[in-house]
Amino acid sequence: MTGKKTLVAAVAVTLALGAGTALADTAAKKIALSNNYAGNSWRQAMLKSWDKVTKKAVADGIVAEASAFTTAENQATEQAAQIQNMILQGYDAIVLNAASPTALNGAVKQACDAGIVVVSFDGVVTEPCAWRIAVDFKKMGAIQLDYLAKRMPKGGNVLEIRGLAGVFVDDEIHAGIEAGVKKNAQFKIVGSVHGDWAQEVAQKAVAGILPSLPQVDAVVTQGGDGYGAAQAFKAAGRPIPLIIMGNRQDELTWWKEQKDANGYETMSVSIAPGVGTLAFWVAQQILDGVDVPKDMIVPFLQIDQGNLEANLATTEAGGVANVEYSLDDAKKAIASTK
């Protein structure tokens, strides 16, 4: 019976709000977040951003409901069942971070056939009826080399720290870095290790390879590994090279310390977990009748020497630098893709 009660409550709230202010056409619409995993700092930040932004949207009467559901075991079949549940619960739109790019296509198609708007982000799905807000991981690798070329026109030796072996994201960023090296031929990759996007793993891996390496001028990374790399260089008593950071709070803190002590200069790049809130607004805009292209690319969150302090101040301990999207930001993002 709780379903009925929520519905009644939702209608009551909508009516109460409707009396005073002018509302978007989506005031009665219900949006659900189907999330496959919540076990790391990035996902936790993503869920927190979703909660914060959608709560306000519900309170403002822009949508009637925006609940988040996370599957317990990060399994495609489990998430397919979750999507089918959402169809039955009468949601108007499903925002999706998918466990598999293809294995949910059956359930996604069922949702589309039921007239539900499906917007996938980060972990996108290939089903053509769904919208995709994808991350250009290749570019994330390539821009690191572009930055290095700007800082060291003469080039130098580069150590690459990769992510978790066999994962799509790792392959993509690596391909981007390879492309970047090809473009800026003055750089040479002298070593490559897997840091698994975790500081401790990266530190151990870098410490293991350092004795066999010549002078290292720069380290390219995938995020969650820059701080560990710095520690390994320090422990080995070697000069600290230019290490690209990945927006984690520990990395930014270390960078700030170095900057204050000796003017250390680098850049930091990763995806803001708030991309989930962009997906939320995109879904709301589609429900509102706006024509949105099926494929959108998310911009990265890049931190430079100038805005380091500002970003560090808003990043909580153990977290990731974040940007939450407002309705206007989303409208701008949509307009720029068209």
Residues that bind another protein (CB under 8 A): 1-3, 69-73, 75-78, 80-82, 84-85, 87-90, 100-107, 109-110, 168
Query: Can you spell out the DSSP letters for 263-328?
Result: -----EEE--TTHHHHHHHHHHHHHTT----SEEEEPPEEE-TTTHHHHHHHSPTT-B---PPPHH
State which residue, 82 or 322, has the beta carbon closest to another protein. Answer: 82
**Nearest residue (CB) to another protein, 87 versus 267:** 87
Nearer residue to another protein within complex by CB, 90 or 208: 90
Nearer to another protein, 97 or 285 (CB): 97
Question: Smallest gap, in angstroms, from Cβ of residue 272 to another protein?
Answer: 24
Closest of 78, 89, 95 to residue 114, by C-alpha: 89
Task: For residue 156, report the phi and psi dihedrals to the nearest 5 degrees.
Answer: 165, -170
Return the number of the residue (132 or 248) whose C-beta is nearest another protein.
Answer: 132
With tokens 């204050």, the residue in question is 260
Least Cβ distance, residue 99 to another protein (angstroms):
9
CA distance 52 to 272: 15
CB of 6 to another protein, least distance (A): 9
> Closest distance between another protein and the C-beta of residue 75, in Å?
6
CA gap 34, 79 in Å, rounded? 7
Nearer to another protein, 14 or 70 (CB): 70
Beta bridge partners of 308: none
Task: List b or e across 309-320, with b for residues whose CB sees 16 or more CB atoms inside 10 angstroms.
Answer: eebbeebeeebb
DSSP 41-74: HHHHHHHHHHHHHHHHHHHTTS-SEEEEEE-SS-
The C-alpha atoms of residue 311 and residue 302 are separated, in whole angstroms, by 10
CB of 262 to another protein, least distance (A): 44
Q: Which is nearer to another protein, 116 or 245 (CB)?
A: 116
Least Å from the CB of residue 163 to another protein: 15
CB of 220 to another protein, least distance (A): 24
Name which of 68 and 301 has its Cβ closer to another protein.
Answer: 68
- For the chain, what percentages of helix, strand and coil (3-state, to nearest 5) are there? 45, 20, 35
Distance CA 89, CA 85 (A): 6
Quote the least distance from Cβ 227 to another protein, whole Å.
Answer: 29
Q: Which amino acid appears at position 241 of this protein?
A: P
How would you classify the pairing of strands 301-303 and 268-270?
Answer: antiparallel
